[in-house]
């Protein structure tokens, strides 16, 4: 994929450059840009950070009074008005469970359609900015509901479970409720959103027990 194709509808994203070579990955900076009007999508409906297609993504979702925060492993090609199959499933299940909006977050913010294409080395700077994005999203509601949706893919890279542990620690002081959908794997990993029924009911997920077993 050439860089000139980034604004087109993309069926697969393969990381092309080291994210550390991108000039500015500051969450605060890209958040402020995303809060302004956009010619590419309805900024009154969508929260998209950064607000243009690039090698990473912190947040993609819809704005509402009762959102659910969905946590996957890493972003793929989705953007406002062009959701991929995973995000379409997330939106359907969120609405079926009484939420008026969804906010898609990820354990790591690097775009890669195939998890095997994720960086093999931990990118500390990107993780730190991604944690700031979680702090922001958790601040949007008094009682955040978090949908654990990363599947067995979390085992693809050693650093992913550590990133998730940081996210869980952030959530402890925010009166959060952790949920999952579908059956967990034999190892206890929560089900990925794909291939779930469109009206799949969310249920409680014990994130502390999960992490204790993982470590």
**Kind plus residue range of the DSSP H or E element containing 42:** none
**Residue whose tokens read 């925060």:** 69
What residues does 178 pair with on adjacent strands?
Answer: 146
pLDDT of amino acid 5 = 38
Residue in this structure with the two tokens 């949908």, named with its chain if needed: 147
* Domain residue spans of the chain: 23-214
Q: What is the CB neighbour count within 10 angstroms for residue 162?
A: 14
Q: Is 62 helix (H, G, I), strand (E, B) or coil?
A: strand
Q: Which residues pair with 179 in a beta bridge?
A: 147, 204
In Å, the largest CA–CA distance within the chain is: 47
Global confidence as pTM: 0.91
Q: Which residues pair with 110 in a beta bridge?
A: 56
What are 56-76's pLDDT values in tens digits? 999 999 999 999 999 999 999
Find tokens 């869980």 and name the residue. Answer: 168
Could you tell me the pLDDT band of residue 10, with boundaries at 50, 70 and 90?
Answer: low
**What pLDDT, in 10s, does the model give residues 140-185?**
999 999 999 999 999 999 999 999 999 999 999 899 999 999 999 9
Task: Name the residue among 76, 161, 166 with its Cα closest to residue 116.
Answer: 76
The three state secondary structure string of 83-122 is: CCHHHHHHHHHHHHCCCCEEEEEECCCECCCCHHHCCCCC
What span, in angstroms and rounded, lies between the C-alpha atoms of 138 and 22?
27
Question: Comparing C-alpha atoms, which of 207, 125, 126, 129 is closest to residue 169?
Answer: 207
User: Model confidence at 4, in pLDDT bands (50, 70, 90)?
Assistant: very low
End-to-end CA separation in angstroms for the chain: 38
Measured CA to CA, the distance from residue 173 to residue 168 in angstroms comes to: 10
pLDDT at residue 47 tops 80: yes
């Amino acid at each position: 994929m050439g860089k000139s194709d980034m604004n087109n509808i993309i069926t697969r994203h393969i990381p092309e450059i080291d994210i550390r070579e991108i000039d500015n990955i500051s969450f605060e900076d890209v958040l402020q840009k995303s809060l302004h009007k956009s010619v590419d999508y309805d900024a009154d409906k969508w929260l998209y950070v950064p607000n243009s297609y690039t090698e990473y993504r912190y947040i993609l979702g819809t704005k509402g009074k009762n959102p659910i925060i969905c946590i996957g492993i890493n972003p793929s090609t989705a953007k406002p008005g062009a959701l991929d199959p995973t995000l379409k499933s997330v939106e359907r299940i969120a609405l079926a469970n009484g939420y008026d909006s969804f906010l898609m977050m990820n354990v790591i913010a690097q775009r890669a359609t195939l998890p095997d294409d994720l960086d093999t080395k931990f990118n500390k700077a990107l993780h730190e900015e991604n944690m700031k994005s979680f702090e922001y999203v958790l601040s949007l509601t008094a009682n955040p509901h978090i949908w654990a949706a990363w599947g067995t893919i979390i085992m693809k890279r050693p650093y992913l479970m550590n990133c998730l542990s940081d996210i869980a620690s952030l959530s402890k002081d925010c009166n959060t409720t952790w949920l999952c959908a579908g059956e967990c794997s034999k190892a206890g990993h929560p089900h990925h959103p794909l291939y779930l029924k469109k009206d799949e009911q969310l249920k409680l997920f014990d994130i502390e027990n999960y992490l204790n077993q993982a470590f």
